[in-house]
Amino acid sequence: MTVLVLDTGALIALERRDRRMLAVADELYASRRTAFVPAGVVAQCWRGSPRQHAVMRLIRARAVRVDPLSEEVAYQLGSLLGASGAADVTDAHVAWLARRLRAKVVTSDPDDIRALDAGLDIVVV
């Protein structure tokens, strides 16, 4: 399995027990690999609900590493948004992180991610 960056739609799909996202989570557990999630993705999807058991399990199992939004990253994301004409900081963080890690993006909104970086490898859930 290659490196993965998960967006908000991917975590929501996991919460909804989407079979494709369950398979991704199972592969992460079995291979003991780590996917990456921008901090803004966690903020967008996290509500502390018992329904989010699968998301919390993924995070607590260290199958996901949360990438912080530091000042340095903020400048990089701002430049990406300016160059692409997009406005969503979280989507920019997903695209920027995937490019930096040479990772696949797991998303429910491929058009939003492609608008930021058309060259990314995308898995739609």
Residue 95 lies in domain: 4-124
Cα–Cα distances (Å) from 47 to 28, 77, 111, in that order, read 23, 25, 26
pLDDT of residue 49: 85
pLDDT > 90? residue 51? no
pLDDT for the residue numbered 1: 56
Structure tokens at 5: 């960056």
- The per-residue pLDDT for range 85-123, each reduced to its tens digit, is 999 999 999 999 999 999 999 999 999 999 999 999 999
Domain count across the chain: 1
79-91 pLDDT, tens per residue?
Answer: 999 999 999 999 9
Residue 48: give its domain's CATH number.
Answer: 3.40.50.1010
